[in-house]
Amino acid sequence: MAETSKASVGTAELGFLLDPTVEQLVLALLSRIDVHFFVEAVLVIVIGYLLFQKRYKPLQGTEGLTEGEIDELCEQWTPDPLVTKEAMESVVKRSERVVTSHQGCRVIINGKESINFASFDFLNMLNEESIKDECEQTIRKYGVGSCGPRGFYGTIDVHLDLERELADFYGAEGGIIYSYDAATASSIIPAFLKRGDLVIRDEAISYSLQAGIDLSRAYVKEFRHNDMADLESILEIVKQADAKNQKPLNRRFIVVEGLYQNTGMICPLQEVVELAKQYKFRVLLDESMALGTLGETGKGSLEHWGIPASDITIRCGSMSNSLASIGGFAVADGPIIAHQRLSSTGYVFSASLPPFNATAAIAALRIIRQDKERISKLRENSTLAHEVLRDMTLNLDKNACDTLWLMGDEISPVKHLHLQQGKGTRQADDETLQKICDVVLDEFNVSLVVADYSPLQKIAPRPSIRITINSAQTREDIEKCAAAIGEAARKVFARAA
């Protein structure tokens, strides 16, 4: 400061600084005022204003409310009951059937024996005495429960055996088992997919897959059931969007089922795999229904379509259908399985599968490998059922108030009978179909179910009677079933009219 002063003002003039008077000071100051001073002063004022102005803030939370007011609000708040009347009325009613004996293709319901066309035991494993014998041995050795998750001494040697067997059966690098079918896909998907990832799924996939996708918080897009053109158009849109905005790669999956439980249709997997390769998507395939039912030797969709295992990233499924045990599984490459063992919630945070259920699954897998007859018999039965059921639906009176139509692939052991017209509401259609099932059970001793869907499922298929075929059913059983449905439908439709 002193230096600049020296430069501009003479030293003598500054003499007054040693003993200044107010006047001198003010004069000296005024003499130095120029445009700069004004600009700086304005800036200082603006900054000060910006710093000290009272910021506008919208009232957040309970700010601005006094304790008394909060008390009052709490007092006034009345919650809905845990289950509201409307919610209770919105669910589809069902009468519960109590089974007192389960023997594969025969079942005793409410004390009466009937032919079973309702459970997913396609290969008649529930009736297999050798499996029960092995299970008994396991129960005697290991007890019932495993008393802990896999990580904490809940891994029992039979679990490892089953995982090896599954991997071997499917020709995969590794296998992992889950203790419940409902927690399998819904744990696997969130283990790999996160927010920002992309899933393209068939609209007919089962709830567990849907729940998994929802939990993962990934973007999701549905394509029309088994409609490859629709799938391709969606993939094309994604590709175009990619070209437009250059973003880092996200994980992408196409999620399909080998054989759809909800429709009985087989997925055109070959095309799905081709599209996935072309558009760089991974494929997650649910084999719950396809295991033991598709392919020459029951090895599922890949065998059916002749696709190499490397084309599918993850295969998962349920062990409670063809294997007639409990639990779920996944097979994939080693690192993918290892990742699930640390990150899949249903695996890490749940007690492991009871050892005897694992034994049952191992035994069932062995039977599938050894007894090729069962699979060919199942195929034969499925085709026959398709034929007789289709004929039955064609022979229904076209003038009655409604008719049935058959859905499902010819060789699929799962078939659905839908109402042609329906009454418009889910509840009413469900009731009509249930009436048919009741008549079939009461008068013809054939047990069938109306496929049940939870209201939590966002996209649920139309109500239908689901017919599941078992390898042990005879030609007479199947013909009887078709005839019974025809007869019952006639009665119910006549009554309704």
Partner 1 sequence: RKSPKPDGHELELETEHTVPWIAALTTYFSYAILMVFGTLRDAVFNVMCVVDPGRYRSPTPKGFAKLMNDFQDFYTRRLYHRIQDCFNRPISSAPGAWIDVIEREFANAEMSTMRHTGSHVTALNLSSYNYLGFAESDLEMRDEVVSSMRRLGVGNASSRTELGTTDVHHELEARVARFLGKEAAIVFGMGFATNSTVLPTLVGSGGLIISDELNHSSIVTGARSSNARIKVFKHNCAKSLEEILRSSIAEGQPRTKLPWKKILVVVEGLYSMEGEVCDLKNIVQVCKKYKAYVYVDEAHSIGALGATGRGVLEYCGVEPVDVDVMMGTFTKSFGSVGGYIASTKEVIDYIRRMSPGSIYACSMSPGCVTQASLALRMIAGEDGTDKGKKKLDQLRRNSNLFRAGLQRMGCEVLGHTDSPVIPVMLYNPAKIPAFSRECLARKLAVVVVGFPATPLIKSRVRFCLSAAHTEEDLISALKVIDEVAERVMIKYKWTGRPNVAPSAVVQRLSQEYFVDVVGEWDATH
When binding is defined by CB under 8 A, the residue of 32, 132, 164, 475 that contacts partner 1 is: 132
CB of 112 to partner 1, least distance (A): 13
Query: Which residue, 225 or 339, is less far from partner 1 as judged by CB?
Result: 339
CB of 145 to partner 1, least distance (A): 5
Query: Which residue, 55 or 140, is less far from partner 1 as judged by CB?
Result: 140
CA dihedral 22, 28, 32, 37 (to 10 degrees): -10
| Residues 358-397 within binding reach of partner 1 (CB under 8 A) | 360
- E strand or H helix that includes residue 119: none
439 residue type, one letter: V
| Residues 59-78 within binding reach of partner 1 (CB under 8 A) | 61-62, 65, 69-70, 73-74, 77-78
Classify residue 214 as exposed, middle or buried by CB count within 10 Å of its CB (0-12, 13-18, 19+): middle
Region binding partner 1 by CB under 8 A among candidate stretches 83-91, 377-385, 397-405, 488-496 = 83-91
Assess contact for 356 and 142: CB atoms under 8 A: yes
The C-alpha atoms of residue 186 and residue 279 are separated, in whole angstroms, by 25
Classify residue 33 as exposed, middle or buried by CB count within 10 Å of its CB (0-12, 13-18, 19+): exposed
Assess contact for 264 and 408: CB atoms under 8 A: yes
Query: Which residue, 213 or 266, is less far from partner 1 as judged by CB?
Result: 213
Size of the site for partner 1 (CB under 8 A): 118
- The helix-helix angle for 157-170 and 355-370 (nearest 10°) equals 30
Look up tokens 């179909």; give the residue: 433
Assess contact for 218 and 199: CB atoms under 8 A: yes
Assess contact for 177 and 187: CB atoms under 8 A: no
**Alpha-carbon torsion (185, 337, 288, 234), positive or negative:** positive
Assess contact for 117 and 447: CB atoms under 8 A: yes
Query: Which residue, 233 or 457, is less far from partner 1 as judged by CB?
Result: 457
Region binding partner 1 by CB under 8 A among candidate stretches 44-52, 174-182, 228-236, 428-436 = 174-182
Query: Which residue, 170 or 207, is less far from partner 1 as judged by CB?
Result: 207
| Residues 311-350 within binding reach of partner 1 (CB under 8 A) | 313, 318-321, 323-326, 334-336, 338-339, 341-343, 345-346, 348-350
| Residues 232-261 within binding reach of partner 1 (CB under 8 A) | 248-252
| Residues 395-434 within binding reach of partner 1 (CB under 8 A) | none
Q: Residue 445 interacts with partner 1 (CB under 8 A)? A: no
The C-alpha atoms of residue 189 and residue 172 are separated, in whole angstroms, by 19
When binding is defined by CB under 8 A, the residue of 18, 22, 98, 243 that contacts partner 1 is: 98
Q: Residue 173 interacts with partner 1 (CB under 8 A)? A: no
Query: Which residue, 318 or 473, is less far from partner 1 as judged by CB?
Result: 318
Binding track over 259-278 against partner 1, x by CB under 8 A? --------------------
The C-alpha atoms of residue 125 and residue 471 are separated, in whole angstroms, by 10
CA distances from 329 to 5, 9, 191, 246 (A): 87, 92, 14, 37
Query: Which residue, 347 or 493, is less far from partner 1 as judged by CB?
Result: 347
Query: Which residue, 226 or 350, is less far from partner 1 as judged by CB?
Result: 350
Query: Which residue, 129 or 373, is less far from partner 1 as judged by CB?
Result: 129
| Residues 21-60 within binding reach of partner 1 (CB under 8 A) | none
